[in-house]
């Protein structure tokens, strides 16, 4: 009997073993080749620059072995695949319910649990200000008005927060560090992150995103998967609800504009 | 993995450039090459600050090991100088 989950799991593992093997083979090759080359150049030819080149090969070999040993269990490609699958499910829900208002990413202080995104049910272009924590349910009331209802969903950014240390609250430097740690080091989704803050507006630039920016009707609500992760981390790091106001790309950079909601004493 | 590849490529490029430059200037002291490799290794590892934590741990160990090698070179030089004076 065909079991797609198992087949997928095996493919993911096989790709990871392949990557690991590549680094380990390269490392062993460099250590062995570099060592022999250094010995031959130093002892037989007595030409030190070539011996030094052999030593540098040995160092690179050890580095390659270390990198091979520390590869994450799931390859970045597989992570991206799962991330896209998760995003597609949320997007389908958003499209089916006909939601049009921009999502508001809430920090854990507002959700009393995992960070979530709140999508207002009304189509009012003015964003509501969330002033009190919301319940952990799918449909939640976020204000006193009759239209103040929204859908509370987990986004791609929600589980990724557990991969990094809880960001320090407040500075944009801490936010840049947290985003770099997550997107560059853990998820390998981008090459670099830059953060600029001006009042309640934050501009985040990411270099070489692994997921190219594509147009999707649901992205106007939640933002692209990378923007969603960025907004979740920003909301959590700064302790304020945030929403993605725009996304664009120029050259190898993707620019994500966020808007923070006014700080509220809970 | 892309970040790992870039890190390895950066190190390979730095080491090769150093070797070629020093060889072009007829430098034949192995300790000079090794010291420069160590500095480049530490600098590159510092620049790639956002590697996976386990990779960083293993690379730190390698850094200590290379630094120990550097200290051996320094000790040998000191002994050599002391031997010249005595």
Instruction: Please give the structure tokens belonging to residue B19.
Output: 């070797």
**Arithmetic mean of pLDDT, A2-15:** 54
In whole angstroms, what is the distance from residue A131 CA to residue A156 CA? 24
User: Do A185 and B62 count as a contact with CB atoms less than 8 A apart?
Assistant: no
Residue A75: per-residue pLDDT: 65
Min Cα separation B54/chain A (Å): 6
Instruction: Please give the structure tokens belonging to residue B65.
Output: 């090991």
Band the pLDDT of A166: cuts 50, 70, 90. low
The answer to whether residues A155 and A166 touch, using CB atoms and an 8 Å cutoff, is no
Band the pLDDT of A168: cuts 50, 70, 90. low
Asked whether residue A76 carries a pLDDT value surpassing 70, the answer given is: no
CB-CB: which of A42, A56, A66 is closest to B59? A66
Q: Express as a percent the part of chain B with pLDDT over 90.
A: 52
Band the pLDDT of B7: cuts 50, 70, 90. very high
Residues sharing a CB contact under 8 Å with residue A243, sequence separation 6 or more, in sequence order: A102, A103, A104, A105, A127, A231, A258, A259, A261
Band the pLDDT of A115: cuts 50, 70, 90. confident
Residue A11: per-residue pLDDT: 58
| Longest distance between any two alpha carbons in chain A, whole Å | 87
CB-CB: which of A55, A60, A76 is closest to B1? A76
Residue A191: per-residue pLDDT: 85
> Touching check for A39 and chain B: CB below 8 Å?
no
User: Do B16 and A184 count as a contact with CB atoms less than 8 A apart?
Assistant: no
CB-CB: which of A51, A181, A185 is closest to B30? A51
Which residues, listed in sequence order, are joined to residue A193 by a DSSP beta bridge?
A: A206
**Arithmetic mean of pLDDT, A128-145:** 82
Q: A residues 86-145 near B, CB within 8 Å?
A: none
Asked whether residue A36 carries a pLDDT value surpassing 90, the answer given is: yes
> Touching check for B19 and chain A: CB below 8 Å?
yes
Give the global pTM.
0.75
Q: What are the Cα distances from residue B22, in Å, to A33, A57, A237, B42?
A: 22, 16, 47, 19
Cβ neighbours around A98 below 10 Å, total:
8
CB-CB: which of B8, B29, B34 is closest to A63? B8
Please give the ipTM for the structure prediction: 0.91
Asked whether residue A218 carries a pLDDT value surpassing 90, the answer given is: no
Min Cα separation A220/chain B (Å): 29
**Arithmetic mean of pLDDT, B55-70:** 90
Min Cα separation A259/chain B (Å): 26
Residue B84: per-residue pLDDT: 78
Residues in B closer than 8 angstroms to A76, CB to CB, are 1-2
- pLDDT averaged over chain B? 89
Highest-confidence range of A15-29, A91-105, B67-81, by mean pLDDT?
B67-81
Band the pLDDT of A7: cuts 50, 70, 90. low
User: Do A49 and B23 count as a contact with CB atoms less than 8 A apart?
Assistant: yes
């Amino acid at each position: 009997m065909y079991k797609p989950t198992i087949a997928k799991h095996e493919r993911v593992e096989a790709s990871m073993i392949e990557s690991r093997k590549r680094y380990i083979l390269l490392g062993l090759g460099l250590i062995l080749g570099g060592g022999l080359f250094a010995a031959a150049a130093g002892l037989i030819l007595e030409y030190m620059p070539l011996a030094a080149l052999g030593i540098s090969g040995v160092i690179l070999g050890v580095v390659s072995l270390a990198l091979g040993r520390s590869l994450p269990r799931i390859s970045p490609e597989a992570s991206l695949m799962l991330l896209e699958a998760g995003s597609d499910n949320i997007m389908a829900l958003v499209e089916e319910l006909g939601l049009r208002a921009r999502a508001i990413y809430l920090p854990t202080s507002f959700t009393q649990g995992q960070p979530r995104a709140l999508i207002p049910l009304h189509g009012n272009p003015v964003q509501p200000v969330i002033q009190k924590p919301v319940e952990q349910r799918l449909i939640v009331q976020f204000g006193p008005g009759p239209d103040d209802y929204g859908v509370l969903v987990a986004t791609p950014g929600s589980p990724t927060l557990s991969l990094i240390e809880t960001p320090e609250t407040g500075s944009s430097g801490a936010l840049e560090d947290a985003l770099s740690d997550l997107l560059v080091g853990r998820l390998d989704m981008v090459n670099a992150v830059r953060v600029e803050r001006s009042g309640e507006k934050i501009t985040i630039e990411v270099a070489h995103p692994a997921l190219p920016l594509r147009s999707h009707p649901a992205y106007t609500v939640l933002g692209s998967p990378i923007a969603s992760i960025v907004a979740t981390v920003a909301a959590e790091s700064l302790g304020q609800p945030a929403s993605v106001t725009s996304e664009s790309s120029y050259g190898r950079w993707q620019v994500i504009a966020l808007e923070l909601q006014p700080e509220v004493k809970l | 993995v892309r970040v790992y590849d870039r890190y390895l490529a950066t190190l390979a490029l730095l080491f090769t450039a150093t070797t070629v430059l020093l060889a072009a200037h007829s430098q034949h002291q192995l300790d000079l090459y090794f010291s420069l490799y160590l500095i480049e290794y530490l600098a590159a590892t510092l620049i790639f600050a956002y590697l996976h934590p386990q990779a960083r741990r293993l690379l730190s160990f390698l850094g200590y090991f290379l630094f120990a090698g550097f200290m051996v070179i320094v000790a040998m030089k000191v002994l050599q100088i002391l031997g010249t004076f005595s």
